[in-house]
Amino acid sequence: MIEIAPAAIRPDHATEVRPMATECVVCRSPRLHYLFSVAGYRIVRCDDCGLLSTNPQPSDDELGRIYASDYFLRGRSEASQESVERLKSRTAGLYLDLIERYRGQRGGRLLEVGSGEGDFLVSAIERGFKVTGVEYSEHACAMASKKMASRCPFEIICGEITDVPGAGIYEVCVLSDVIEHVRNPRHLLERVHELLCPGGVIFIATPSLNSWSARLLKNRWMEFKPEHLFYFDSSTLQTLLIDGGYKDIIEQPGTKSLNVGYIAGHFARYKVRGLSWLADLVYRLTPTKLRHKPFHVVASGMVQLARRADHPKRHRLSIVVPVFNEARSFSQVFNRLLAKKLNGLETEFIVVESNSNDGTREQVLRYSGHPKVKIILQNVPRGKGYAVRAGLSQVTGDFVLIQDADFEYDIEDYEALLEPLLRNRAAFVLGARHGGSTWKMRQFENQPVVAAILNQAHWFFTGLINICFGSSLKDPFTMYKVFRRDCLYGIRFECDRFDFDWELVINFLRKGYRPLEIPVNYRSRSFSEGKKVSIFYDPITWLRVLIRLRLSSFDPLCEIEREREAIPEPADDEQLIIGQT
């Protein structure tokens, strides 16, 4: 049987055994090390992906005592109960807004796992959904049925998700504050995958280790509770979703509707040194009529939305090769790329040729008809960014790698770059030219002053990005950027030149990806050897994109909506696509 819900709610299953994990549920690493204890339970951190979990988990009996019938926080008086219900219904409204914006449509069949006393389901019915809730507390099921008695249609299943019948029938599945409670989140996502129809949407709300409260309060974070068995951040939850067969993941802040009375009640039950006292003080100082006035707050949670992917995982790597005037090296580099074997990965190549005038196009065309090669011929050379963007629009692999057609980088570094992606340790990897065991900085024998200026400029611009976007990167401008294709979802790129490197890294940072930097080999070529960066013009474009992205807000949902509503553009007559992969 899939162990998803604490069986403790069913007394016949109850046991005193505390289940102990030997590997991480996200990346399967055995390297789990102890951090600290919460109410006597050990919190461990996975050294490879950063997931926090309770290990060993509380026994079924212990969870049973926690999830007693008064588990759901409610006011004592009727007035305060009504106020709690109003808050829940407002938060449900916020969640349903996100679901509708992400799907671009309303209604359909919706399943809520852990439906509690049915507040979310009531709101979903009002939005035109046909709802099913599954909840293992009999008391909560009875409350929900009573609440929804006059509404139609609805279904409440008292049990676990394994008790929900059917397959491929739900358009939406909602897991609101649930995934952190279950014994095995991987099994939960697998079961939801079975229940969703093709392209069906999963909605997950859960506490996030990336939230401001987690970073501020550290091990005093209010979400550290015995019944929370897993603590995700953006990256670990996304990895679990991707590995579970989902795609098109976006993240949104976990906005909730709360009021002063509810917050004080929460901190009275879950004591946090300093904060409980402060919450109580604020409650006492707030005029009575304002204590139950709702406001929106992002305290500790995140929301992730994704679609059920229809195709099985192919483990395909898409290599995008932008080419312009590389006749000296193209064929040699490309033959080596085609010959390269990567264990467990099939490859496809998207070569984007931007109308070279040195014979490169003729060399590229020799590969037309190759089963692994797709060629894009552009009529106008608008820059590397323009070429890479055209290439990215054609990729079909699970992973994407950008490769120049020269010998500055070493393709023998591919295995090291791909390993964190294949082992679910990261979604985005950068091949850092600095920080490895060999000297990687630019050294042009014939242009030492230019090399020195470029090296200084590198540190200056790296510092700027780190300060503006709160990162600590060593080499954001490396050509070797390897990432899950899904990272591109909900991002619109505009840059045509080398500023695209900036645009890509900054947008990934804004979308919540923290790149893992792996040292790679690098031999810089000088300008006389064909380096194409303009030492005067390009830095201006870099600063321009940095300022534009720093000052603009970022919302992948807006991009998805914009794209959905956009009138399809006519086929680009400036480029021709040859070959299918």
Residue with smaller CB distance to Zn ion, 24 or 430: 24
Cβ closest to Zn ion, residue 49 vs residue 333 = 49
By CB atoms closer than 10 A (0-12, 13-18, 19+), residue 181 is: buried
Q: Which is nearer to Zn ion, 49 or 520 (CB)?
A: 49
Q: Distance (Å, rounded) from C-alpha 67 to C-alpha 14?
A: 13
Q: Bridge-partner residues for 110, per DSSP?
A: 131, 172
Q: Are 493 and 504 in contact (CB under 8 A)?
A: yes
Q: How far apart are CA 522 and CA 409, in angstroms?
A: 5
Q: Judged by CB, which is closer to Zn ion: 34, or 460?
A: 34
Quote the CA–CA distance of 302 and 311 in Å, as a whole number: 27
Tokens 């700027």 correspond to 464
- Cβ distance to Zn ion smaller for residue 51 or 473: 51
Q: Which residues contact 345 (CB under 8 A, 6 or more apart)?
A: 315, 316, 317, 399, 418, 422
Buried/exposed 544-581: b ≥16 CB within 10 Å, e otherwise: ebbeebeeeeeebbeebeeeeeeeeeeeeeebebbbeb
For 81, other C-beta atoms within 10 Å of its C-beta total 12
Nearer to Zn ion, 233 or 398 (CB): 233
**Nearest distance from residue 441's CB to Zn ion, in Å?**
33
Contact 170, 308 (CB under 8 A): no
Residues shown for the chain: 581
Residue 555 dihedral angles phi and psi, to the nearest 5°: -145, 105
Q: Which of 222, 232, 135 is nearest to 186 (CA)?
A: 232
In the complex, the smallest distance separating the C-beta of residue 425 from Zn ion, rounded to whole angstroms, is 7
* Cα radius of gyration rounded to whole Å, the chain: 27
Shortest reach from residue 513's CB to Zn ion, in Å: 16
Cβ-contact 424, 28 below 8 angstroms: yes
State which residue, 25 or 173, has the beta carbon closest to Zn ion: 25
What does each C-alpha distance from 45 to 23, 119, 233, 420 come to in angstroms? 11, 34, 12, 17
In terms of CB distance, is 187 or 548 closer to Zn ion?
Answer: 187
Min dist CB 242 to Zn ion, Å, is 14
Contact 410, 378 (CB under 8 A): no
d(CA 432, CA 475): 5
- Contacts with Zn ion by CB under 5 A lie at 24, 26-27, 29, 46, 48-49, 51
Give the burial class of 273: count Cβ atoms within 10 A of its Cβ; 0-12 exposed, 13-18 middle, 19 or more buried: exposed
Q: Report the C-alpha gap between 487 and 223 in whole angstroms.
A: 28
- For Zn ion, the closer of residues 29 and 394 by Cβ is 29
33 or 341: CB nearest Zn ion: 33
